[in-house]
Amino acid sequence: MSQQISTTSQQSLKDVRRALLHLHKILVDMERAAYEQARGRVSSGELLQLVINHEQFAWLRSLSALIVRIDEMLDTDEPVKDEEARSLLAEAGALLKPAEAGNNFEQKYFAALQREPAAVLAHREVMQSLVEGRKE
């Protein structure tokens, strides 16, 4: 029988979540700036609707969904196994693989890292959190 999630795995999830949220904010802000340049200023409420529904922001939804899944794992009253936490962390590492000729997310992520130095730093922060989480 597997044990419940350890304090170490829980902390790793929290660290990666924090880093992913920072990266997500930078990417959303970058898309918002591009959107506003073409179509004019949007309010925070309008931005939320764009992130949820607009095609320009669609590529970010897999990252948003990953953050939600981490939140759900951290907030559940159900027993969570370390293997499940490790699997989710591995999924985060697999998602954040920029590629010029990959899937839509990989291509857009690659382009974002080429354009936005803050995204590069945030990417590094996520990767460091993932590596530290594997050590423990």
Quick count: other Cβ atoms within 10 Å of Cβ 112? 22
CA distance 111 to 121: 15
Which pLDDT tens digit goes with each residue over 85-119? 999 999 999 999 999 998 999 999 999 999 999 99
- Retrieve residue 95's tokens: 């998602």
CA distance 106 to 87: 20
Distances (CA, A) of 95 to 41, 59, 105: 30, 12, 8
User: 135 falls in which pLDDT band (50, 70, 90)?
Assistant: low
Which pLDDT tens digit goes with each residue over 36-89? 999 999 999 999 999 999 999 999 999 999 999 999 999 988 888 889 999 999
- Mean pLDDT (whole number) for 117-128: 97
Parse the chain into domains and list their residue ranges: 7-131
- Mean pLDDT (whole number) for 26-42: 97
Q: Is the pLDDT confidence value at 2 over 70?
A: no
- Whole-number pLDDT of residue 109: 97
pTM (predicted TM-score): 0.91
Q: Are 18 and 95 in contact (CB under 8 A)?
A: no
- Whole-number pLDDT of residue 1: 39
- Retrieve residue 13's tokens: 């999830």
CA distance 99 to 45: 32
Dump strand ranges (E) for 8-128: none
* C-alpha closest to that of 23 among 120, 115, 129: 120
Q: Is the pLDDT confidence value at 23 over 60?
A: yes
The 3-state DSSP class for residue 43 equals: coil
Q: Is the pLDDT confidence value at 4 over 80?
A: no
